[in-house]
Amino acid sequence: MSTDIQTLKSLDLFADLNFGELEQIAPLMHLMKVAEGEVLTRKGEPACTFFIILSGNFMLSFNEERSFTLHNKGNIIGLSTVVIPFRYTGTAVALTDGLVLLMQGQEFLRLIQSNSALGDKIMRKINKIVSERMPYMTGAWGKGGINCLALKQ
Amino acid sequence: MFGLEAIIAHDGLGISVIGISIVFVSLVLLSFAVSQIHKLIELWDKKNTSYQHLKKPQQKDQKTPSVSDLAIPQDVQRASRQFKLLIEWMGEPFPLPKLLDLSEKCGLSRPHSTINELLKCELIIPDENGYFIWNTQVEEKRSST
């Protein structure tokens, strides 16, 4: 089942996109129900799918079992689908039942590469999220991690 | 006397006009009533929620339950004791995936959603380094109320 434009527009990742750009993305995104305890991504596996949370609560864990939790609509799982070397850097587990939008990584990458304006808008947002999550992946810690942000958003 | 003459003689035209008017007015009223049914249904649907909205402030006046009582369901309160034991055994700060793994191994029921509830209640809070700690302040508040 593909997604409607209004749902996409309400997501932070796509908030800057115009109607035409959202129309390009809509058929690529699919709705999926997630059950409590379900694993969406596994660390080290090829990053095939990109997820956007619509509802539910999720835990993302990285090296040395560092982790944070995601509780808000629009939070993203599977950033590695557009980041070299295209392997998941963390494991994502559903803490509760929920709904996610998913997109195949190849299609997402193709879309970003084929439309530079759209790609630029999306990649800016993704880069910001990657930089927030970087300490969890590298262990190099600055002050104020996302584990606080995720709960307060 | 037959036909039109008889009708006119017995005020048939007037009676038929009145009859038509009565039927027409009735139909107009009926159609108006039907057109307003959706509002009645809406009111009926909202009745319960509006009643709860009105009721809530009154209940607050009667009794002011503590925030922790409202926030933590009873089954989570029970589970929190078990999780606290696990956390004490692991030491703090602890990794959340390890707590999840341990709770699954110990056979605790629905560990994922329970951990989520504990996070929502802020009984488990993140430290600044990707690990988590048990929030004794919230626990103390809860036990003192």
- Where does the pLDDT of residue A140 fall: very low under 50, low under 70, confident under 90, or very high at 90 and above? confident
Structure tokens at B97: 């995936």
Helical residues (DSSP H) of chain A, grouped into ranges: 5-9, 19-25, 105-114, 116-138, 146-152
Count up the domains in chain B and report the number.
2
What DSSP character marks residue A139? -
Burial class of residue A81 (count of CB atoms within 10 Å of its CB; 0-12, 13-18, 19+)? buried
Q: Please state the rounded mean pLDDT for residues A42-54.
A: 95
Any bridge partners for residue A60, and if so which?
A68, A92
How much is the pLDDT for B55?
59
Per-residue pLDDT in tens (0 to 9) along chain B, 145 residues: 788 888 888 888 899 999 999 999 999 999 999 998 888 888 887 776 666 655 555 554 444 444 444 456 677 777 888 898 899 999 989 999 999 999 998 888 889 999 999 999 888 999 888 999 998 888 777 766 6
Section A110-138 average pLDDT: 90
What domains does chain A contain, in order, with CATH numbers? 5-152 (2.60.120.10)
Q: pTM of this prediction? A: 0.69
Is B7 in the same domain as B52? yes
Buried b (16+ CB within 10 A) or exposed e, A16-39: ebeeebbeebbebbeebebebbbe
Residue A35: which pLDDT band, with cuts at 50, 70 and 90? very high
If contacts are CB pairs under 8 Å, which of residues 58-97 in chain B contact chain A? 95-97
**What are the pLDDT digits (tens) for A54-105?**
999 999 999 889 999 999 999 999 999 988 889 999 999 999 999 999 999 9
Looking at B64, B95, B110, which one is the last position of a domain? B64
Backbone angles phi, psi at A57, to 5 degrees: -130, 140
CB contact under 8 A, A36 and B113: yes
Which residue shows structure tokens 């009111």?
A: B43
Contact A145 B128 (CB under 8 A): yes
Select from B48, B64, B80 the last residue of a domain.
B64
pLDDT at position A151 is: 37
Domain that holds residue B120: 70-144
Q: What does the angle CA A84 – CA A22 – CA A125 come to, to the nearest 5 degrees?
A: 40
- B113 contacts chain A (CB < 8 A): yes
- In terms of domains, do B57 and B80 share one? no
Q: B93 near B124, Cβ under 8 Å?
A: no
Q: Read off the pLDDT of residues A9-30 as tens digits, 9 standing for 90 and up.
A: 999 999 999 999 999 999 999 9
Q: Are residues B9 and B47 in the same domain?
A: yes
Specify whether B56 is located in the same domain as B78. no
Order the strands of the A30-34 sheet from edge to edge: A30-34, A98-104, A49-55, A76-77
pLDDT of B59 reads 52
* CB contact (8 A) between residue A65 and residue B126: no
Cβ(A5)–Cβ(A27) below 8 Å: no
Q: Is residue B84 located within the same domain as residue B33? A: no
A139 dihedral zone (left: phi>0; alpha: psi -120 to 50; beta): left
Together in a domain, B58 and B86: no
